[in-house]
């Protein structure tokens, strides 16, 4: 194997449930290229986002921290480009900073959605970023960094194809240079809108689909609606299902084109490819259309917090393997850095731990691998083991306890049954201790009335938006105590 640091292609979809993948067992959805990637790499069966909504989940991927430390607790809305836009991760350590310091050439093609979307972050020489957090697929606005400035670029091409094309250009050019490259390929698919938004050849794949993988249950009683339609869905449910599935398949085709380009350039064997999604999604599961904010109070059902994940790197990662260990997006930063041969220890001073050894087929060091994972969305928090899940909602509930062995679909809430009171108490104590250890006072989400309607300024609800997030060393950006 070459001693040269591997190139890194980090592919992120938007709102893709773990169930929406052929190699994960869904026989209705067409994802041949991702299935092929899993066959030459390792798929994670139990991989969880850190928060079941876009911006907090993406911030955790980049920082290795939880929302109650990085301060992004809801999806971002409001002014997202230009001089008034807030960079919500300003002053915080990103794993891409370390790649840049190690000599990587960095590029972004697609969605950023962490504030100041038009501004390239440290080390990024290529930046082709979506203006906001969502967009129609046939009319979008991107910002391109070129020659020291960013300029607005309207796009009328099918957005998935535009993002794919930009990625191809970056990879082709970067592969000619002496340094390794990192590309964040961040698709907007399969985020809505769905009906009439996707190429006919992909919609046609599902013209006779029964969508048995998305049972349309009675509407969840906590579902917010507009004119009787769930806020996370569309009025024409069948067309929405066709569009969601078509969006995944069109993205899969784009990914296939990018993977083929790696092979054509002769760099496939020295490129780490990672595929995942920011958060899960319900297409009727639990009677919900949406993710964590598809209900109020917010939910952390597995369909909202479990996401697809595939890692592939010849010679370093086992081929055709499936890991069943509980792993989280707060582990990803350390894992990518270790696989790249870059010091990953700074990203293990919080909740994250590299799982590179698992990808290589080695057992984890004794006591080094967590047996539970955690999630949060504002005042809603989850602790999940292989067999049990406890959900705590500050300040008053409702709380939940699920026996995942007997009840994997999370239908029967056992939290008030006396027979389980000791288990509830133990899981609650462990959850509270973990968040106290990894959160930051003042940014702790347990007291935040997050409504799932967009974090427009700061978690401190400063009307001027004067948000000063913590630096990685525990101080705020101005040098004071956080």
CATH of domain 7-359: 3.40.720.10
Indicate whether 472 pLDDT > 70. no
- Residue 126: pLDDT over 50: yes
Residues 6+ apart with CB under 8 A from 299: 52, 220, 222, 286, 288, 292, 380
Residues 411-428 have a mean pLDDT of 98
Nearest to 399 by CA among 381, 419, 411: 381
More confident residue, 480 or 377: 377
pLDDT range class, residue 479, cuts 50, 70, 90: very low
For the chain, give percent helix, strand, coil, nearest 5: 30, 20, 50
pLDDT higher than 80, residue 362:
yes
Which pLDDT score, from 0 to 100, does residue 16 have? 98
pLDDT-based confidence at residue 1 (cuts at 50, 70, 90): very low
Is pLDDT of 478 > 60?
Answer: no
Residue 442's pLDDT is: 87
Q: Which residues pair with 312 in a beta bridge?
A: 273
Is the pLDDT at 477 greater than 80? The verdict is no
pLDDT on residue 469: 42
DSSP label at residue 436? H
Position 366 confidence tier, pLDDT thresholds 50, 70, 90: low
Confidence check: pLDDT of 481 > 70: no
Q: Is the pLDDT reported for residue 470 higher than 60? A: no
Query: Model confidence over 41-76: pLDDT tens digits?
Result: 999 999 999 999 999 999 999 999 999 999 999 999
Which range is least confidently modeled, 69-83, 200-214, 247-261, 468-482? 468-482
On the question of pLDDT at 280 being above 70, the answer is yes
Higher pLDDT, 280 or 77: 280
pTM reported for the whole predicted model: 0.94
pLDDT at 458: 56
The pLDDT tens digits for 400-414 are 999 999 999 999 999
Please state the rounded mean pLDDT for residues 30-46: 98
User: What is d(CA 62, CA 182) in angstroms, rounded to the nearest whole number?
Assistant: 13
Check pLDDT > 80 for residue 467. no
pLDDT of residue 459: 52
| Interval 101-114 mean pLDDT | 98
For the chain, the average pLDDT equals 92
For residue 447, the model assigns a pLDDT of 86
Helix (H) or strand (E) holding 273: strand 271-277
pLDDT at site 365: 64
Confirm if 285 and 303 have CB atoms less than 8 A apart: yes
Answer whether 291's CB lies under 8 Å from 280's CB.
yes
Q: What is the pLDDT of residue 4?
A: 86
Buried b (16+ CB within 10 A) or exposed e, 243-263: bbbbbbbbbbbbbbebbebbe
Could you state, in order of their start, the residue ranges of all structural domains in the chain?
A: 7-359, 373-447
Contacts of 167 (CB under 8 A, 6+ apart): 107, 109, 110, 183, 185, 258
pLDDT-derived band of residue 363, with 50, 70 and 90 as boundaries?
confident
Per-residue pLDDT at 369: 56
CATH topology of domain 373-447: Arylsulfatase, C-terminal domain (3.30.1120)
End-to-end CA distance of the chain: 45
One DSSP character per residue, 214-272 reads S--PSPPTT--EETTEETTS-S-HHHHHHHHHHHHHHHHHHHHHHHHHHHHTT-GGGEE
pLDDT at residue 122 in the model: 94
Q: Does residue 187 carry a pLDDT above 50?
A: yes
Pairing of strands 47-48, 327-328: parallel
Cα separation, 459 vs 202, whole angstroms: 40
**Banded pLDDT at 364 (limits 50, 70, 90):** low
Task: Judge whether residue 456 has pLDDT over 80.
Answer: no
Q: Give the model's pLDDT for residue 334.
A: 98
**7-359 and 373-447 have identical folds:** no
What is the pLDDT at residue 451?
86
Stronger pLDDT, 451 or 378, i.e. the higher one: 378
Q: Tell me how far apart the alpha carbons of residues 469 and 286 are, in angstroms, rounded to a whole number.
A: 36
Non-local (6+) Cβ contacts of 391 within 8 A are 300, 380, 381, 382, 399, 400, 401
Q: Which two tokens stand for residue 456?
A: 């427009």
């Amino acid at each position: 194997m070459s001693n040269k640091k591997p190139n890194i292609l980090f592919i992120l979809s938007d709102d893709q449930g773990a169930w929406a993948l052929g190699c994960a067992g869904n026989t209705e959805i067409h994802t041949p290229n991702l299935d092929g990637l899993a066959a030459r790499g390792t798929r994670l069966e139990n991989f969880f986002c850190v928060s079941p909504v876009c911006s907090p989940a993406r911030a955790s991927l980049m920082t290795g921290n939880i929302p109650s430390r990085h301060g992004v607790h809801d999806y971002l809305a409001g002014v997202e480009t230009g001089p008034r836009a807030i960079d919500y991760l300003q002053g915080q350590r990103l794993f891409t900073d370390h790649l840049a310091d190690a000599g990587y050439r960095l590029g972004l093609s697609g969605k950023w959605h962490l504030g100041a979307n038009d501004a390239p972050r440290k080390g990024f020489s290529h930046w082709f970023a979506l203006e906001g957090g969502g967009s129609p697929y046939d009319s979008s606005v991107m910002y391109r960094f070129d020659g020291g400035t960013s300029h607005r670029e309207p796009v009328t091409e099918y957005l998935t194809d535009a993002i794919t094309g930009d990625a191809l250009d970056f990879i082709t050019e970067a592969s000619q240079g002496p340094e390794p490259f990192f590309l964040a390929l961040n698709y907007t698919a399969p985020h809505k809108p769905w009906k009439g938004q996707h190429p006919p050849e992909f919609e046609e794949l599902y013209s006779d689909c029964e969508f048995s993988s998305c049972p349309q249950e009675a509407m969840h009683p906590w579902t917010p609606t507009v004119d009787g339609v769930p806020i996370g869905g569309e009025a024409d449910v069948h067309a929405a299902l066709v569009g969601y599935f078509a969006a995944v398949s069109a993205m899969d085709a784009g990914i296939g084109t990018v993977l083929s380009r790696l092979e054509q350039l002769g760099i496939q064997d020295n490129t780490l490819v990672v595929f995942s999604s920011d958060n899960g999604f319900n297409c009727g599961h639990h009677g919900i259309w949406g993710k964590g904010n598809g209900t109020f109070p917010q939910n952390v059902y597995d369909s909202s917090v479990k996401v697809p994940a595939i890692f592939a790197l010849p010679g370093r990662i086992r081929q055709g393997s499936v890991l069943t260990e509980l792993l989280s997006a707060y582990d990803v930063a350390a894992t990518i850095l270790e696989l790249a041969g870059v010091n990953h220890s700074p990203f293990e001073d919080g909740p994250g731990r590299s799982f590179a050894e698992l990808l290589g087929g080695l057992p984890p060091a004794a006591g080094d691998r967590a047996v539970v994972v955690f999630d949060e969305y504002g005042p809603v928090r989850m602790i999940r083991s292989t067999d049990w899940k406890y959900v705590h909602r500050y300040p008053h509930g409702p709380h939940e306890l699920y026996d995942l062995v007997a009840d994997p679909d999370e239908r029967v809430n056992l939290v008030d049954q006396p027979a389980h009171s000791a288990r509830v108490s133990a899981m609650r104590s462990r959850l509270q201790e973990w968040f106290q250890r990894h959160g930051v006072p003042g940014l702790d989400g347990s007291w935040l009335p997050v409504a799932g309607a967009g974090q427009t300024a700061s978690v401190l609800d400063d009307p001027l938006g004067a948000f000063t997030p913590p630096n990685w060393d525990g101080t705020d950006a101005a040098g004071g105590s956080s």
